[in-house]
Amino acid sequence: MPEKIVKDKVLVYVVRDGHLLVFRHTDYSFEEVGIQVPSGSIRAGESPEGAALREAREETGLTLFKIVKKLGETEYDISPYRFEIQRRHVFHLELLEETPERWASQEDHDGQGDPTRFECFWIPLEAAHVLQSGQGALLGRLHEG
């Protein structure tokens, strides 16, 4: 059994009018990858807040985000997909621009390899338990204080 490594990640809940911004990978089926919120790795020298804003922008193609607050941290064991524990810094973000109901975006990975294509859309917060890989773990904190 390989040693599990701990990786620092960010996870963002972008909320508007009782709806959560989510996306799916258009090159894979729901069965393979499910529905996700913007998330990703914290780069060397980057703050969790900076990583949260960067990942939200990269994965949605939108730019006008504001951090409302940090909701906390959670750990998630993503084995057997990868033998790693993700330490997730979870943020509530507000979006300060209009969006369509659904739109396509892509993440270009700094020009390395093929872009990853996404379809972004809004789901009611009550339906957000459908998020993959424990991403909904701190949704309940959106309504605290």
Give tens-digit pLDDT for 93-108: 999 999 999 999 998 8
Give CA–CA dist 7/47, Å, rounded. Answer: 14
Other Cβ atoms within 10 Å of 2 Cβ, number: 8
Q: Please give the Cα distance from 145 to 135 (Å, whole number).
A: 21
Global confidence as pTM: 0.91
Domain boundaries, the chain: 5-143
Average pLDDT for 79-94: 93
If pLDDT is split at 50, 70 and 90, which confidence band does 144 have?
confident
| Sign of the dihedral defined by the CA atoms of residues 81, 85, 90, 95, in that order | negative
62 to 36, 56, 128, 132: CA distances (angstroms): 16, 8, 21, 22
In this prediction, what percent of the chain has a pLDDT beyond 90? 75
CA-based nearest residue to 123, from 13, 33, 31: 13
Report in angstroms the alpha-carbon separations of 145 from 73, 132, 142.
17, 26, 8
Q: 111: helix, coil or strand? A: helix
| Section 55-67 average pLDDT | 96
Q: Mean of the pLDDT values across residues 27-36?
A: 86
Fold of 5-143: Nucleoside Triphosphate Pyrophosphohydrolase (3.90.79)
